[in-house]
Structure 1
Amino acid sequence: MCRPAVGAGSAFSLFSGLLIALCLLCPVSVRATEKPDEPLLAFSARIVGDDARSRVVVDFDDKPEFSVHYVASPERIVIDLPTTAFGFPAEDLAARGLFKDIRYGTMGEGSARIVLTAQRPVKLVSAEVQKNEDRGFRLVLDAEITTKEKFAELVRTQSWKSSELKQSAVIEGLPDGAMSKDGVFTIAIDAGHGGIDAGASGAVTKTPEKDITLAFAKILVEKLNKQTGIRAFLTRSNDSFLSLSERVVLARQGKADLFISLHADTLGQKNIRGSTVYTLSDTASDKMAAALAARENLSDQLAGYSIEVPQPEIADILLDLTRRETQAFSISLANRVVKSFEGQIGLINNPHRFAGFQVLRAPDIPSILLELGFLSNEGDEKLLLSEEWRDKLTSLLVDAVLKYRGETVAGGG
């Protein structure tokens, strides 16, 4: 059996090479083509993604059959192919995003293999062959994070039969549409910042934003889960770091119908106070919104998770849905939050604003970012630390969600 060719990953020791060879050895069917003696040609490849989801694309001169398997210790995705000549530069498939190492090459007579070694437990949500407009076909693999338990289940329940070579595979279905079909209205509550990313800090008490948002999020989830037909969950339940992309993926994996991200930022103008509701837009409503979005979007860089991702590819990975419809639902929710707060909770001027917040970019989940108040203002800081005010604001937020669900989801508004 031939050793897989090394991509741009780390050095491949003889010991680890033997391990992979022993762990992954399995029979693979030959290429189903009119020319079985000629290998497929993989003439180009590319990978895009981040620490929560990634897409691998390999172009072939003919339609490839393939099979997918999972191997543990470390977590790997194995793609078995018929005889294949890999004719693209190694740097074209250099490890990035979810994967820390990518190897490919001949496995023996009639077979080849791509091995994707992951940074963490991972799963394929889809794997399919698509026809190229100009030449040949492309194998498209969409991967995203999963839990250790779910990865172990994938390893345990899979079959290694050679007859499983195929031309497409929907590995795990994704939620479709802005509303869930399970009869339960599900809400992801995202406590902003966490772990190494403390966020802003109080002007007087120096309380970190990450603690305030988590305290609000826990109370909000508790109140929402008391409502009939509603299920709410936290994207983070402790002082842990989540990248912006992870927050979106966790919401989608939880089949959320709404995504609410809680924050309590600071401003240079200490006299500005009050709550603000943000929805997504590539063009900011004002300079303050643009500045806040830019600062929030730095969260990943602060924790060393900065990875540039071409936006069109990532949109394809998530879902090919109409953003316009989802955005209309987001605006509807924002308007209901503002109406619920009016006369009860202090709001800044023009309380519904919009900007390019990365955490709001799920194309299929109506999403808002709620600035609870500004820690740069002493009055707001005092309220943000008040259990009584926290209880009042979360109750009003629950009311807004109930009205959104009753009027929008039911078709009444």
Structure 2
Amino acid sequence: MMVVCVARAHATETEPATGEGEKLLAFSARIAGDDARTRVVIDFDGKPEFSAHYVASPERIVIDLPATAFGFPAADLSARGLFKDIRYGTMGQGSARIVLTGIRPVRLVLAEVQKNEGHGYRLVLDAEMTTPKAFADLVAQQKWVQPQSGSAIEGLGASARDPATDGVFTIAVDAGHGGIDTGAMGATSKTPEKEITLAFAETLAARLNQEKGVKAFLTRDSDTFLSLSERVTLARQGGADLFISLHADTLGQKNIRGATVYTLSDTASDRMAAALAARENLSDQLAGYSIESGPPEIADILLDLARRETQAFSISLAERVVKSFDGQIGLINNPHRQAGFQVLRAPDMPSILLELGFLSNPADEALLLDPAWRQKVADRMADAVGRYRAETVAGGG
């Protein structure tokens, strides 16, 4: 991996103008996000020219600026999310620098200057996790250039391909739980939910990959913990057209059994759906993660429209799954339900959560452990996805 030496950047709470030429003033800053995606926003009194680079060992993002006085409290840009250390300060008479040190390999998917509605401009940096190899490629391929105004995203790493135009229908199959988060436990076999979801995810992905023009991949292929945001980010990085999250929960009422398909709604369709969503959303907290900040997204009209369109596609997929299961795979009463599952909140990717059955019910538990039954369910899922693709994506229904 190429290593580029970077001059030391001094974190300063305030840095007054010195009178030696004009300086930009960075008058406020904020940071939000989690271990998968993080946004940094810095407000300036003028339009800043900037450039962004990657540095290895440890993984860092370096932002070079013209002479800048940093006039915001240091606590406003304290490290969080993807970054374990953030330093900024003067680099010389005519330049300044911000150094963002990652907790893991990281890349920028957006780096641009935007005009504020009121005073000045803001520098927006959206970072997301990436692989060590991808980061090494970024370091090796980048070109160090002079700061520029507007955007410096070119050459910083391609975003996920556009799934609408690549000719491949891509599906992210997400095995719920994993690692420290075991999920529910089988009432009789004591098999943890994380093992059941992974076994079915492997079966489903293999079945979907038999379909022409379809590519399915797993968000996890081992007993590994992934935060809820990591799951969505991995799906997006893989260019997924669909996101299918798999679970097998428990209920206090052991007589309830059958599959359930969930789509996202801020208002749960019933008390059982609300309770299940609350339990699934606790996954991050079990491993010491927090979901309070949520993903760094902009709540605007365009995003709201995207969510509505995506939600309509999600509902369409859920209805086709229920129809494909009907008479073939046992379903709970009112099998399409809605609740506020965090893992379904991607605004740009149709998503469903499939509860395969309930480990609290002995009959369901026996089916969940049966490879032949899992294959049958995978066949019905492939049928549902095929109908969704033909009727919805192709505009035929």
2:151 alignment partner in structure 1 = 168
3-state DSSP of counterpart to 2:333: strand
Query: Among 145, 165, 168, which residue is 1:181 paired with?
Result: 165
State the 4+ residue runs in structure 1 displaced beyond 6 angstroms.
none
3-state DSSP of counterpart to 2:48: coil
Q: Does 1:337 align with 2:328?
A: no
Q: Does 1:4 align with 2:18?
A: no
Query: Among 313, 337, 347, which residue is 1:363 paired with?
Result: 347
3-state DSSP of counterpart to 2:297: helix
Deviation sequence 1:340-397 (CA, Å, 0-9, x none): 0000111010000000000001111110000000001111000100111111111111
1:29 alignment partner in structure 2 = none
Q: Distance in 2 between matches of 1:72 and 1:265?
A: 42
1:26 alignment partner in structure 2 = none
Aligned length: 383
After TM superposition, the structure 1 = structure 2 runs for residues 278-297 of structure 1, keeping only pairs within 5 Å, are 278-297=262-281
| Contact 1:97-1:307 within 8 A present in 2 as well | no
Query: Among 198, 203, 213, which residue is 2:182 paired with?
Result: 198
Q: Which residue identity is paired with 2:243? A: F
| Contact 2:260-2:335 within 8 A present in 1 as well | yes
Cα gap change, 1:78/1:256 in structure 2, threshold over 3 Å: closer, same or farther? same
1:314 alignment partner in structure 2 = 297
Query: Among 48, 72, 91, which residue is 1:107 paired with?
Result: 91
3-state DSSP of counterpart to 2:354: strand
Q: Distance in 2 between matches of 1:141 and 1:291?
A: 36
Cα gap change, 1:374/1:64 in structure 2, threshold over 3 Å: closer, same or farther? same
What displacement does 1:7 show?
A: 6.8
1:82 alignment partner in structure 2 = 66
What displacement does 1:175 show?
A: 5.3
Q: Does 1:259 align with 2:243?
A: yes
Q: Distance in 1 between matches of 2:369 and 2:12?
A: 52
Q: Distance in 1 between matches of 2:299 and 2:288?
A: 25
Deviation sequence 1:260-281 (CA, Å, 0-9, x none): 0000000111111000000000
3-state DSSP of counterpart to 2:86: strand
Cα gap change, 1:246/1:316 in structure 2, threshold over 3 Å: closer, same or farther? farther
TM-score scaled by length of structure 2: 0.93
After TM superposition, the structure 1 = structure 2 runs for residues 109-128 of structure 1, keeping only pairs within 5 Å, are 109-128=93-112
Q: Distance in 1 between matches of 2:20 and 2:234?
A: 43
Cα gap change, 1:268/1:38 in structure 2, threshold over 3 Å: closer, same or farther? same
| Contact 2:241-2:349 within 8 A present in 1 as well | yes
Cα gap change, 1:315/1:214 in structure 2, threshold over 3 Å: closer, same or farther? farther
What displacement does 1:51 show?
A: 0.6
Q: Distance in 1 between matches of 2:359 and 2:139?
A: 47
| Contact 2:65-2:147 within 8 A present in 1 as well | no
Q: Distance in 1 between matches of 2:124 and 2:28?
A: 12
| Contact 1:190-1:259 within 8 A present in 2 as well | yes
Query: Among 127, 137, 143, which residue is 2:127 paired with?
Result: 143
3-state DSSP of counterpart to 1:283: coil
Q: Which residue identity is paired with 1:84? A: T
| Contact 2:243-2:352 within 8 A present in 1 as well | yes
After TM superposition, the structure 1 = structure 2 runs for residues 39-118 of structure 1, keeping only pairs within 5 Å, are 39-118=23-102
Q: Which residue identity is paired with 1:393? A: V
> What 5-or-longer segments of structure 1 have no aligned partner?
9-34
> What 5-or-longer segments of structure 2 have no aligned partner?
1-5, 14-18
Q: Distance in 1 between matches of 2:166 and 2:49?
A: 34
3-state DSSP of counterpart to 2:135: helix
What displacement does 1:167 show?
A: 2.4
Q: Distance in 2 between matches of 1:308 and 1:176?
A: 29
Cα gap change, 1:126/1:224 in structure 2, threshold over 3 Å: closer, same or farther? same
Q: Does 1:269 align with 2:253?
A: yes
Q: Distance in 1 between matches of 2:147 and 2:28?
A: 25
What displacement does 1:160 show?
A: 1.9
Q: Distance in 1 between matches of 2:78 and 2:56?
A: 21
Q: Does 1:211 align with 2:216?
A: no
Q: Distance in 2 between matches of 1:50 and 1:67?
A: 24
3-state DSSP of counterpart to 1:156: helix
Q: Distance in 1 between matches of 2:20 and 2:49?
A: 12
Q: Distance in 1 between matches of 2:192 and 2:7?
A: 54
